[in-house]
Structures are given as C-alpha cells and as structure tokens.
Amino acid sequence: MILTVLSSLMKQHSIGTKISKSQVYEAFNEQQIDIHVKNLSKKIKLAFQQYYQDLRFEIKSANEKADMKMDEKRTTLRYNDKNQNMIEKM
C-alpha cells in the first residue's frame, strides 16, 4: 500500500522533489480513509436496500390482509342481506 501512495505522490510532484515521511503518512491515511468510506457507503447502501425491500414486503402483506378482511365483510354483508330479504318475504 505504501508503494501505491508513493507512486501517487510522485505523480503529484515533479522529479527531484523530496517527499517527506509526513507527506507519505498523510497520503496513506487519506487513502485508507477513502477505502473505508467507500466500503461503508456500500454497506450502508446495501442495508437501506434490504430495509426498503423488507418494508415493501410488509406493506404488500398488510394490503393483502386488509383486502381479505374487506372480502370477508362484503361476504358477511351479502349473507346478512339475503337473510334479511328472506325474513321480509315471510
């Protein structure tokens, strides 16, 4: 990893420029931070994707349950209406 830092520092500075240990250390730290930020970003993105996928599933399930309850109520109402009509005819 130090070699990648040195090569990037050499690209930034002209030939013959002295590069101090502190510059190498700083560049190395920045590189490590960039790597970790990218990894964290990926993990956060994946976590949000999973969260929203689970949320969609929960909403779909809740909607299906609500639809089933509404169908039951409609069936009950129709049954009650038929019974009421039969009673009225008697």
pLDDT at position 11 over 90: no
Tell me how far apart the alpha carbons of residues 31 and 42 are, in angstroms, rounded to a whole number: 17
Summarize pLDDT for 21-62 with one digit per residue, the tens: 888 888 889 989 999 999 999 999 999 999 999 999 999 999
Instruction: Show the tokens assigned to 4.
Output: 């990648």
Q: Where are the domains of the chain?
A: 2-89
pLDDT of residue 72: 81
- For the chain, the residue count is 90
Chain-centroid distance of CA 75 in Å reads 40
Distance, CA of 67 to chain centre: 28
Burial class of 3 by CB neighbour count within 10 A (0 to 12, 13 to 18, 19+): exposed
